[in-house]
Amino acid sequence: MRDLDALFTALGKSAFRRKFHLRGKDLDYLRDKGLPLVLMHARDFIVTRLAPALPANDGQQTPFKGHPVFVAQHATACCCRGCLEKWHRIPCGRALTPEEIDYVIRVLAHWLEHEKPQQPSRTPDLFSDL
């Protein structure tokens, strides 16, 4: 597993990984449902689709759209066991440990937090009439 600062620096140098951003329905979903619920979904997706030693359809199990977590998985190279090994130094061929699952969720949370639309300030502009 990697330090998140080093990981995101490396991901930022990848043209493929940099192209992923939340748009349209995925962005709306994150805004409407909120990060805590989306991360609950992330944990379920990781446990069922990525954590087994030999995931079904490994390398093709993560869609490119349809949920903000799927986009985040591709952006952060948490989409398949091969990418986890290459980018995160988590070996293939064995089930993920609980610590590794938590790490993947932290990676996804970090990316989603930076993609999350900022809520407009509800503080009135006191100087707008000046």
* CA–CA dist 110, 8 (Å, integer): 9
Crossing angle of helices 98-115 and 68-75, rounded to 10°: 100
Residue with tokens 């903000």: 68
Span 33-60, pLDDT tens digits? 999 999 999 999 999 999 999 998 888 9
pLDDT at 117: 67
pLDDT at 123 over 90: no
Q: Which DSSP string corresponds to 52-91? A: SSS-TTTTSSS-SSSSHHHHHHHHTT-SSHHHHHHHH---
- Taking the C-alpha atoms of residue 5 and residue 14, their distance in angstroms, rounded to an integer, is 15
The mean pLDDT value of the chain amounts to 90
Q: What is the pLDDT of residues 8-36, one digit of tens each?
A: 999 999 999 999 999 999 999 999 999 99
